[in-house]
Structure 1
Amino acid sequence: MTPAGRLQAAIELLEAIESDRRPADAVANEFLRTRRFIGGGDRRDISETVWGVLRARRRLGWWIERVDAAPTPRLMVLALMVLGGITVHRAAAEFGGSRFAPPALDDEERRALEKLDKHTLDHPNMSDGIRLEMPDFVVPLLRARFGDRLEAESDALMQPAPLDMRVNLLKTTREEAIGLLAKAKLKAEPTKLSPWGVRLAARQSVTTAAPFRDGLVEIQDEGSQLVALLADAKPGMRVADYCAGAGGKTLALAMTMENKGHIVACDVSSPRLDGAIKRLRRAGVHNAERHLLEPGDKWTKRQAGKFDVVLVDAPCTGTGTWRRNPDARLRLTETDLAELTVKQAKILDEAQRLVKPGGALIYATCSMLAAENEDQITAFLHRQPGFRVMPVGETFPGYLRGAYLRLSPARDGTDGFFACRMERAAATTA
């Protein structure tokens, strides 16, 4: 594809994202899958433009409103180019100059670009929410968490996320996996925090490489790997992954259990659980089964008190994953947060029933908001006084130890994560 052709594809993809209620990555995957003529390099360029717009969406909208224009996907792309330092003449030359190029600029677009010329993306008159690219109501919540570090964390959230993978110790070692990835022309280095992780030097296609196809590595952010490390599931245990989704953490738990014992991957979504089947087979996991949690289901009641470890990776706002999902910050509302905190509390109260005396309950989110994290734990312990918090142990670097595991992009280089390990009091005998 020509550069102009890639621009037109990016504009069409942005239009599709705007008109679709699904997450941007799902829309993009379908968009690119149905256009097989778009090659791998073209896909990367198109995605870079689209995600660049999504990461700067509030600031771009502020500028476009300032110059009295409509925030169309075309003008968003053009504004990103001009505010990024490309001249108006050069930007206009990409439009209407070839067969597959976007149509030529109209008078309104040209006037808008001329007003944007010589400016940069940031402006001192922007509000904190616009400048930091997050919903206005989230700013004070994250300010309370990070204080003076908020600007650095916000900047990290606006950068592309690295590609982390977890090495499957059921099949190989980290050193061997790095060597096999190198043979597949994928340069990887050990992660700093996870003992099982590797990080690729840049975003690369790994799903067609032999180490991935053979189940030696699995795509998983380093922070997510640390949640599995905190669970400390051992061989022979009974473990419930209560919000398993497509099984990412189930795979990690099976690995730490050395395929010995029993894991039940639970979820309310049948399609998500079905998505775990191929991943479990590829990884060589055979100690896991799936269970669909349905309304009126008596499974939790029947299994009460039978599990050594229960992991609740709760549905959340996903504020810690905004590097990967920049469109999510555009959709998040205060109502969403309020509804999610109610759901999280309900899930915790249900899942705790499964924990046997002396067993562990791990609560985790990919959120950095106290309402979904520390506040949830405080409220849960008030409702369930039979549990106590177990501080993060010596497996983790000293600065991460304490009552809770807290991770953030700027400080730790991971997605934003929260996790807490709690223990149910052991049964007493008369």
Structure 2
Amino acid sequence: MHDAARLQAAIDLLGEIESVSRPADGTASAFFRSRRFIGSKDRRAIADRVWGVLRRWARLTWWCHWAAQGAGREGMSVTPRLRVIADLLITDHLKVDPLDRLFSGQTHAPDRLSAAEAAVADLLQGRSATHPDMPPAVRFEVPDWIYPRFEALFGADTDSELAAMLPEAPVDLRVNTLKAQDRDAALAALAADGVEASATDLSPLGLRLPAGRVNLPTTQAFKDGLVEVQDEGSQLIALLTDARPGMAVVDFCAGAGGKTLGLAAGMGNKGRLIACDVSEGRLDRSAARLKRAGAHNVTRRVLSSESDKWVKRHAKGFDRVLVDAPCTGTGTWRRNPDARWRLSPEQLDDLTRRQASILDSARRLVKPGGRLVYATCSLLPEENADQVEAFLERWEDAEGWRVLPVCEVWEAAVGTNCPMNNYATALRLTPARHGTDGFFTAVLERGEG
């Protein structure tokens, strides 16, 4: 494909992403599946443009409105096409004449610029990514309603924390100790495939791939199950669950099985591990991953809801229960930039109610003296510390629940230097401070009575 055709494909894909409710990665996968004629290099170029626009969505939109107003076109719609035009001029520093040649209206190329688009393009030429008049929420690509929450959370560090959420996240791998003897063995196997990974700082099982694209599924290390893709922070949640050989363990919101795999490895395939989810499709997708990893002690179970009768029948039957709760995903915005604009205050309220319900139900599975591990990939206190505090208000006196100091658990379960202070009751990771996705983890222990 020539450059103009790639641009038109990017405009088409952005239009589909904007018009449907599903996440951008799923929409893009379906888009490319229906266009098998698009080669791998072209797919990469199209996807890079689309994800770049999604990462710069608020700033490009602001510039489009600014230029439309300056051109006397205040009512002009900011379409995917106009955002791509703005991106070429501002991000790629393209001049108007080359832009006209790309938007030629020839076969497979975008239509020629309209008079309104040309007027906007003239004003956007030579502009930088930001402007002194941009509100902070626009500059850092967050919805207006959520910016004050981040400001209250991070205080003087708000700008640096939100700036760290703008670039693309690195790709991390977890060494699968069911197949690889240790991290050095996995590093050597990847090196034999031409991939020079490096060890992560916090997770003793983590590897970070170099900047740029690595076709991991084609490597022998991946095919043999020596490594799995998993953010370093996510690895730490599984490690802090401290699932040991011979235990009975539940991954209550297992999804596609990322943390289930980590739990199975920690158990050395010895003991009973139940992977639960309300989505049969998500659990089905975990089957191939479990097989490749050599995880044999996992039983998958579809629940009708968090209050499924199975929970009541197995009350007080498990040593460890991990609740990786459905959440806003604000900690993963580096990977899912479109999710920033799909979130609403109403959705946050719905999620916090559901999280509380899931916690209340999952706690029933925990033996006296056992642990309930609550985790999210969110940065928002409403989904994190506030949930734990409310849980303790409901159950601390009745059932003897308490929060364990996270560094105490870390020392026994992880073994590396704990990134929190000795008095911290939870693990709080952010891209700025730790180079991981944003995660929260609290370990709660049930009383012996």
Q: TM-score range by the shorter chain?
A: over 0.9
CA–CA separation in structure 1 for the residues paired with 2:155 and 2:45? 36
Match of 2:171 in 1: 163
User: What displacement does 1:97 show?
Assistant: 7.2
Equivalent in 74, 85, 93 of residue 81 of structure 2: 74
Match of 1:135 in 2: 143
CA–CA separation in structure 2 for the residues paired with 1:398 and 1:320? 20
How many percent of aligned residue pairs carry the same amino acid?
Answer: 53
Is the 8 Å Cα contact of residues 160 and 324 (structure 1) preserved in structure 2?
yes
Matched, 1:332 2:343: yes
Larger displacement relative to structure 2 (126-135 or 322-331): 126-135
Matched, 1:275 2:303: no
Corresponding residue SS for 1:327? helix
Equivalent in 265, 273, 276 of residue 266 of structure 1: 276
Match of 1:96 in 2: 104
CA–CA separation in structure 2 for the residues paired with 1:257 and 1:407? 25
Corresponding residue SS for 1:317? coil
Equivalent in 305, 321, 326 of residue 310 of structure 1: 321
User: What displacement does 1:112 show?
Assistant: 0.6
Paired residue type of 2:445: E
For normalisation by structure 1, the TM-score amounts to 0.96
Matched, 1:387 2:401: yes
Matched, 1:36 2:50: no
CA–CA separation in structure 1 for the residues paired with 2:4 and 2:115? 20
Match of 2:133 in 1: 125
Match of 1:187 in 2: 196
User: What displacement does 1:31 show?
Assistant: 1.1
Match of 1:175 in 2: 184
CA–CA separation in structure 1 for the residues paired with 2:144 and 2:15? 25
Q: How big is each residue's C-alpha offset from its partner over 1:111-140, in whole Å with a ceiling of 9 and x where there is no partner?
A: 111011222121121222212111112111
Q: How big is each residue's C-alpha offset from its partner over 1:83-135, in whole Å with a ceiling of 9 and x where there is no partner?
A: 12222222222222764322222221111110112221211212222121111
Equivalent in 209, 219, 222 of residue 212 of structure 1: 222
User: What displacement does 1:196 show?
Assistant: 0.7
Corresponding residue SS for 1:315? coil
Match of 1:289 in 2: 299
CA–CA separation in structure 2 for the residues paired with 1:184 and 1:71? 45
Is the 8 Å Cα contact of residues 316 and 367 (structure 1) preserved in structure 2?
yes
Corresponding residue SS for 1:400? coil
CA–CA separation in structure 2 for the residues paired with 1:5 and 1:204? 25
User: What displacement does 1:184 show?
Assistant: 2.0
CA–CA separation in structure 2 for the residues paired with 1:181 and 1:33? 29
Is the 8 Å Cα contact of residues 235 and 259 (structure 1) preserved in structure 2?
yes
Q: Alpha carbon RMSD of aligned pairs, Å?
A: 1.4
Aligned length: 427
Q: How big is each residue's C-alpha offset from its partner over 1:366-401, in whole Å with a ceiling of 9 and x where there is no partner?
A: 000000000000000000102111111233534324
Paired residue type of 1:183: A
Paired residue type of 1:229: L
Match of 1:411 in 2: 433
Paired residue type of 1:276: S
Q: How big is each residue's C-alpha offset from its partner over 1:262-315, in whole Å with a ceiling of 9 and x where there is no partner?
A: 100011111111111111111101101011111573110111101000000000
CA–CA separation in structure 1 for the residues paired with 2:327 and 2:54? 21
User: What displacement does 1:53 show?
Assistant: 0.7
Is the 8 Å Cα contact of residues 402 and 445 (structure 2) preserved in structure 1?
yes
Is the 8 Å Cα contact of residues 389 and 423 (structure 1) preserved in structure 2?
yes
Match of 1:11 in 2: 11
Paired residue type of 2:353: V
CA–CA separation in structure 1 for the residues paired with 2:4 and 2:188? 39
Match of 2:309 in 1: 298
CA–CA separation in structure 1 for the residues paired with 2:164 and 2:215? 23
Equivalent in 90, 95, 118 of residue 110 of structure 1: 118
Paired residue type of 2:402: R
Corresponding residue SS for 1:358? strand
Unpaired runs of 5+ residues, structure 1, are: none
Equivalent in 250, 257, 261 of residue 247 of structure 1: 257
Alignment of 1:15-30 (within 5 A): 15-30=15-30
Larger displacement relative to structure 2 (97-106 or 196-205): 97-106
Match of 2:51 in 1: 51
Paired residue type of 1:404: A
Paired residue type of 2:57: R
Structure 1 pair 168–398 and aligned structure 2 pair: CA distance change class (3 A): closer
Is the 8 Å Cα contact of residues 204 and 416 (structure 2) preserved in structure 1?
no
Is the 8 Å Cα contact of residues 4 and 98 (structure 1) preserved in structure 2?
no
Is the 8 Å Cα contact of residues 265 and 290 (structure 1) preserved in structure 2?
yes
Structure 1 pair 422–396 and aligned structure 2 pair: CA distance change class (3 A): farther
Larger displacement relative to structure 2 (3-12 or 51-60): 3-12
CA–CA separation in structure 2 for the residues paired with 1:87 and 1:410? 35
Paired residue type of 2:439: F
CA–CA separation in structure 2 for the residues paired with 1:216 and 1:91? 47
User: What displacement does 1:186 show?
Assistant: 2.2
